[in-house]
């Protein structure tokens, strides 16, 4: 049962990653251009940009949905 749960979590994480990757492509180029796509460093950079409120709404929403950034970091405009 543990392995099945791990496999399910891995599949869900991959799906979230693809959703975040697609939603945040422009933000990657704007805020984290020096990082390799798919790298842990890029994920850290884009998460930090999200916490600072510097991301597009589309990217921010994808990060929130993936559980990578709390909604409280959304800047009120």
Question: Can you state the angle between helices 57-65 and 2-31, rounded to 10 degrees?
Answer: 160
Q: Are 39 and 17 in contact (CB under 8 A)?
A: no
Q: What is the pLDDT of residues 29-58, one digit of tens each?
A: 999 999 988 788 888 888 888 888 888 999
Q: Are 35 and 42 in contact (CB under 8 A)?
A: yes
Confidence grade of residue 72 (pLDDT, cut at 50, 70, 90):
confident
Q: What pTM was estimated for this model as a whole?
A: 0.68
Query: What residue has token string 């979590």?
Result: 9
Query: What residue has token string 């422009």?
Result: 26
């Amino acid at each position: 049962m543990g392995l099945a749960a791990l496999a399910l979590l891995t599949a869900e994480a991959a799906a979230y990653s693809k959703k975040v990757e697609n939603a945040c492509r422009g933000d990657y180029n704007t805020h984290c251009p020096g990082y390799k796509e798919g790298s842990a460093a890029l994920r850290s950079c884009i998460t930090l940009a999200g916490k600072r409120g510097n991301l597009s709404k589309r990217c921010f929403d994808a990060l929130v949905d993936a559980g990578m950034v709390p909604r409280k970091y959304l800047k009120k405009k």
